[in-house]
Amino acid sequence: MSESKHHKKGHRSHDPEIDFLENEIDNILPYSRLKYDEPEFWENKYSKDTSYFEWGVPWSKIRPIVFEYVVDTDLALDVGCGTSNLAVDLINDGFKNVICLDVSENCINAMKKRNESIQNINWVCGNCLNLTSNKKIDVIFDKGTMDSILCGNSKNGKKELFEISQIMKIGGYFFLISSGVPSSRKFLFSDPGIGLSLVGERVIEIGELKKNTFYVYIAKKIA
């Protein structure tokens, strides 16, 4: 297995939570602990290929879960949007405005051009570890971005949640769609200082033989 500059298999941080998470990530992402957390990886990737790609779970599978919780659909954010069609799906399903954020400028430029005929989608190049917003956001989605971040510094998982919480409206919802099993994700929400309360989780199995399992963690902004 490749070893990243941030982590070597077998290394221990002396923090039990981080050690446990490192082991879980080794199991989830056995082939690519190398660069998924680095902006340069994505900028290089999208300099070569900006074709459509829907990571993991399509909107049709997430939709029933989202509308189980969400009422306010004025403003949504897709963190680490990539070349997903999620923003278009959200607009078509009644969301009034969607912000799409990605760390790759190549990605954002391509998606902006591809969807220039669709109104009320704002394409922004930025990092989810340093978020700002002029308006509080009702609903935030993360499809696989947390998994990528955790390929590097494990502490950045809680950092992302803190940043997300700062720009959310009280009573808003955050949907984390991840390959990470509950034991490797739920504790990220345990810090009361983050201001997000985990209110639900779902399992989605994809494929005819249901070989691919994804988890949806639902958190509510409470403070």
Which pLDDT value is given to residue 30? Answer: 46
Which pLDDT value is given to residue 82? Answer: 96
Which pLDDT value is given to residue 116? Answer: 95
pLDDT band at 209 (very low <50, low <70, confident <90, very high): low
User: CA–CA separation, 202 vs 142, rounded Å?
Assistant: 15
The tens digit of pLDDT for each residue in 124-178 reads 999 999 999 999 999 999 999 999 999 988 899 999 999 999 999 999 999 999 9
Residue 18, pLDDT above cutoff 60: no
Q: Are 172 and 72 in contact (CB under 8 A)?
A: yes
pLDDT band at 4 (very low <50, low <70, confident <90, very high): very low
Give the mean model confidence (pLDDT) for residues 103-114.
97
Phi first, then psi, for residue 34 (nearest 5°) are -95, -60
Residues 133, 138, 140: CA angle, nearest 5 degrees: 75
The tens digit of pLDDT for each residue in 175-202 reads 999 999 999 999 999 999 999 999 999 9
The alpha helices in 123-209, defined as continuous H runs, are 145-149, 156-166, 182-185
Give the mean model confidence (pLDDT) for residues 118-129.
97
Give the mean model confidence (pLDDT) for residues 51-75.
95
Radius of gyration of the chain (CA): 17
The pTM (predicted TM-score) of the whole model is 0.84
Structure-token pair, residue 60: 């049709």
Judged by average pLDDT, the poorest of 78-87, 100-109, 180-189, 201-210 is: 201-210
Going along the chain from its start, the domains and CATH numbers come out as: 59-221 (3.40.50.150)
Q: Are 218 and 201 in contact (CB under 8 A)?
A: yes
User: CA–CA separation, 223 vs 124, rounded Å?
Assistant: 26
User: CA–CA separation, 139 vs 171, rounded Å?
Assistant: 9
Higher pLDDT, 12 or 133: 133
Q: CB within 8 A of 71, min separation 6: which ones?
A: none
Residue 119, pLDDT above cutoff 70: yes
User: CA–CA separation, 162 vs 164, rounded Å?
Assistant: 5
User: CA–CA separation, 19 vs 72, rounded Å?
Assistant: 38
Give the mean model confidence (pLDDT) for residues 200-216.
89
